[in-house]
Structure 1
């Protein structure tokens, strides 16, 4: 499978506060939908439970959890990283969408990172994205900065590929 990570981070690589994203940027959500539609997405149970309407439409939703009896509608459930390799075909595009522990679990398997950098340092961050090391990753494309009128945040898109 072709495994990618897709994430929005602040300037300290923060991705979460109390189980939620620190910010929602409309254009970033549209980009997320465009990139992931028609592909598989992998998320942890807590990330799934944070989705306002459950399974995301037009995507293969895969939830990884330690809970053996977890069975959300519209989702496949796996219980280990190895299981993901068993249920996905080699040619399938798979996007890891969070949360923190799931990013860490699949970080070394990823070939791409689609990162949205929010140019702000959020207070109270309690979940972080793993460090992106220059000797392992190269910037393939960078766009922005852009400004989100609704939230007031400035942000950029940075796509990385593994060296």
Structure 2
């Protein structure tokens, strides 16, 4: 099976993906689809993203990318976290997996965008203030292969659309 590098993210209509180190919304069904995609696969995340989560994601190989050569995961997570200092180093660790996932944050998305094969991108239908943004990308380089819409309801403050884009080669 050929390896596919997939980026997965949720952003507002004005590209916000985070505020004050966390997600600016609570969307249980969106989180459930994130889990469904990533379970059993390695996830590559930035240090800030990991620290916002506070713990390794269960049932996934957790790889934290940081420029800080001295950074170590918390003592209770050292066996579940692999630390890398370059994206190439992280990708070498997942060489045998058919679909590793890039799960953020913004700097990691920027690094991975030029080499990603797929983007699973949730657009939350609102505009928000935030301090972390998903990078711009040219839709002409991508083909929309799937699109699912979820309406706002009692559990979801905002409607959202999950689009899957495959790189046009």
TM-score, L = length of structure 1: 0.92
Q: Which moved more, 1:130-139 or 1:145-154?
A: 145-154
In structure 2, the partner of 1:68 is 69
Contact 1:4 1:110 (8 Å CA) reproduced: yes
Q: Which moved more, 1:55-64 or 1:69-78?
A: 69-78
Q: Which moved more, 1:144-153 or 1:131-140?
A: 144-153
Calculate the aligned-residue CA RMSD, in Å.
1.4
SS at match of 2:114: helix
Match for residue 94 of structure 2 among 88, 94, 102: 88
Offset from partner CA, 1:40-81 (integer Å, 9 cap, x none): 0010001001114x0011000000001223232211000001
Taking the aligned partners of 2:139 and 2:160, their CA distance within structure 1 comes to 21
Taking the aligned partners of 1:26 and 1:91, their CA distance within structure 2 comes to 27
In structure 2, the partner of 1:18 is 20
TM-score, L = length of structure 2: 0.89
Moved over 6 A (4+): none
Unaligned runs of 5+ in 2: none
Taking the aligned partners of 1:159 and 1:77, their CA distance within structure 2 comes to 29
Contact 1:26 1:148 (8 Å CA) reproduced: no
Structure with bigger strand share is 1
